[in-house]
Amino acid sequence: MVEQNGTMATIEQEEEVVLKGWARWKDSAGKAWFRFSRNKLSVVGLLMVLSVVIAAIFAEHIIPYPEHVGAFVDFANASQAPSADHWFGTDTTGRDIFSRVIFAYREALIMAVLVLAIAVPVGVTIGLFAGYKKGSWIDTLLMRTTDIFLGLPSLILAFSIAAVLKPTLTNCMIAVTLTWWPWYARMVYGIASSARNEYYVIGAGLIGAKKPHILFKEILPSCFSPVLTKMALDVGVVVLISASLAYLGLGTQPPAPSLGQMISSSADYMTRYWWMTVYPALAIVYLILGFNFLGDGLRDMLSKGDLKYG
């Protein structure tokens, strides 16, 4: 295995000299795909995430009861157990849970992707700098600021934002993002302060590598794997957070469906109407599962060489 990795790295270097422009891009993309697709689960993950994305985009055309996600009530058919007509049963208002779950993927994806797209880069960059500059005033300033944000309860932050700004999905995401980035900063800080003492990092500094190179090309890759793992799980957590924000009047409002709200509002009668809690939860499990497999594949793709495991 070790030898194989070594050989591949040499081939890569040789080819990089030969290939230029488009051809080179095409080739490296091909190689990336090769690395990615070596693990079948990554491809499964990609397909799962794609299926969610497609479901989210074309929800209205896919779901059996499009009117059930809008202004609609049918109390005569409330709380029906799963059947051929309603695969996931109906909720206490008589709406088809399957249709609402599929439709809710739209809000879930937007929330998860946007929150993480802001929180992760911000948190990772701050953690990287502070970890690399461990002991300096930059470290102190950055990490103590992180501490202040960590101590803020998200509920109170969301409440204040709801009071000052309009309760839209965007503002809702601002509230979540503000409480999210410190977690990544803390995690990356730990890794970076350890990695800066690795020989390859010290070595890179000795041969005159510039700081951005050391930070992003040498230290950052060692953070990929835990960050990707955490991100994939966080997708699910962000989706659930929307339930507590909805309680404060922020974000998704009735009748629009939200996975988090479906779970939290039906938990009380879980033993009686299990389908109202279980199916939305399974929908989240499916989402995280897809992102996790995909994350594993991405990790293999980004970390050059290590193809040993998936």
Q: CA dihedral defined by 262, 268, 273, 275, rounded to 10 degrees?
A: 40
> In whole angstroms, what is the distance from residue 182 CA to residue 149 CA?
7
Interaction residues for other proteins, span 171-190 (CB under 8 A):
182-183, 186-187, 189-190
288 binds other proteins per the rule CB under 8 A: yes
151 binds other proteins per the rule CB under 8 A: yes
User: Closest separation between CB of residue 267 and other proteins, Å?
Assistant: 5
Backbone phi and psi for residue 278, each to the nearest 5 degrees, phi listed first? -65, -45
Structure tokens at 202: 């010290």
Interaction residues for other proteins, span 16-75 (CB under 8 A):
70-73, 75
Would you say 114 or 248 has its CB closer to other proteins? Answer: 248
Interaction residues for other proteins, span 205-244 (CB under 8 A):
222-223, 225-226, 228-230, 233, 236-237, 240
Total residues interacting with other proteins, rule: CB under 8 A: 85
101 binds other proteins per the rule CB under 8 A: no
Structure tokens at 65: 């009861």
DSSP state of 72: -
Q: Which residue has the tokens 């404060």?
A: 248
**Contact window for other proteins (CB under 8 A) among 7-15, 54-62, 101-109, 247-255:** 247-255
Would you say 23 or 163 has its CB closer to other proteins? Answer: 163
User: Closest separation between CB of residue 228 and other proteins, Å?
Assistant: 8
Burial code (b: 16+ CB inside 10 Å, e: under 16) for 75-104 equals eeeebbebeeebebbbbebbbbbbbbbbbb
Among 134, 169, 204, 209, interactor with other proteins by CB under 8 A: 134
User: Closest separation between CB of residue 19 and other proteins, Å?
Assistant: 28
Among 21, 135, 208, 212, interactor with other proteins by CB under 8 A: 135
Would you say 28 or 229 has its CB closer to other proteins? Answer: 229
Would you say 37 or 79 has its CB closer to other proteins? Answer: 79
Among 11, 23, 113, 163, interactor with other proteins by CB under 8 A: 163
The secondary structure of the chain in percent helix, strand, coil, rounded to multiples of 5, reads 75, 0, 25
Instruction: Judge whether 185 and 145 are in contact, CB under 8 Å.
Output: no
What would the DSSP string read from start to end of 199-217?
A: HHHHHHHHTT--HHIIIII
